[in-house]
Amino acid sequence: MSWPDLAPLWLSIQLAAVTTVLLLLVGTPLAWWLATTRAKVRPFIEAITALPLVLPPTVLGFYLLIFLSPNSAIGGYWRDVTGTTLTFSFTGLVIASAFYSLPFMVQPLQSAFEAVGRGPMEAAASLRASKLDSFFTVAVPLARRGFITGIVLSFAHTIGEFGVVLMVGGNIPGQTRVISIAIYEQVETLDYAQAHALSLILLIFSFVVLLAVYTLNRRAPVRVG
Partner 1 sequence: MALEVDIRLVQPGFELKLAYDFSDQGITALFGASGAGKSSLLRVVAGLEPAARGRVVFGGEVWQDEQIFVPPHKRGVGYVFQDARLFSHLDVLGNLHFAARRSRSSQFDNVVQTLDLAPLLARRVDGLSGGERQRVAIGRTLLSDPRLLLMDEPLAALDHNRKADLLPYIARLPAAFGLPVLYVTHAVEEVARLAEQMVVLAGGRFLAAGGVGETLARLDISEASGKFEAGAVVRARVVAQDEKFMLTRLEVAGQPLSMPGSQVAMGEELWLRIRARDVALALERPVGVSIRNILGGVIVDITTEEHTAFAEVLLDIGEDQALRARITRASVAELGLVCGMRAYALVKSVSFDRRVLPKMV
Other Cβ atoms closer than 10 A to 69:
18
Q: Which is nearer to partner 1, 79 or 144 (CB)?
A: 144
Q: Which is nearer to partner 1, 83 or 225 (CB)?
A: 225
- Which residues 133-192 are close enough to bind partner 1 by CB under 8 A? 133-134, 137-138, 141-142, 144
Q: Which is nearer to partner 1, 145 or 177 (CB)?
A: 145
One character per residue 104-143, x = contact with partner 1 (rule: CB under 8 A):
---------------xx-xxxxxxxxxx-xx--xx--xx-
Which residues, in sequence order, are CB contacts of 189 under 8 Å at separation 6+? Answer: none
Q: Is 83 helix (H, G, I), strand (E, B) or coil?
A: coil
Residue 42 beta carbon to partner 1: minimum distance, rounded to whole angstroms: 18
Q: Which is nearer to partner 1, 127 or 204 (CB)?
A: 127
Q: If binding is defined by CB under 8 A, does position 225 make contact with partner 1?
A: yes
Residue 139 beta carbon to partner 1: minimum distance, rounded to whole angstroms: 10
Integer Cα distance of 180 and 178 in angstroms: 6
Angle, CA of 25, 27 and 31, to the nearest 5°: 130
Integer Cα distance of 159 and 10 in angstroms: 10
Which residues, in sequence order, are CB contacts of 173 under 8 Å at separation 6+? Answer: 7
Q: Which is nearer to partner 1, 96 or 116 (CB)?
A: 116
Q: Any alpha helices (H) in the chain, and if so which ranges?
A: 7-36, 42-54, 57-68, 73-82, 90-116, 118-126, 131-134, 140-142, 144-159, 163-168, 179-188, 192-218
- Which residues 45-104 are close enough to bind partner 1 by CB under 8 A? none
Residue 168 beta carbon to partner 1: minimum distance, rounded to whole angstroms: 40
Q: Which is nearer to partner 1, 31 or 138 (CB)?
A: 138
Binding site for partner 1 (CB under 8 A): 119-120, 122-131, 133-134, 137-138, 141-142, 144, 221, 223-225
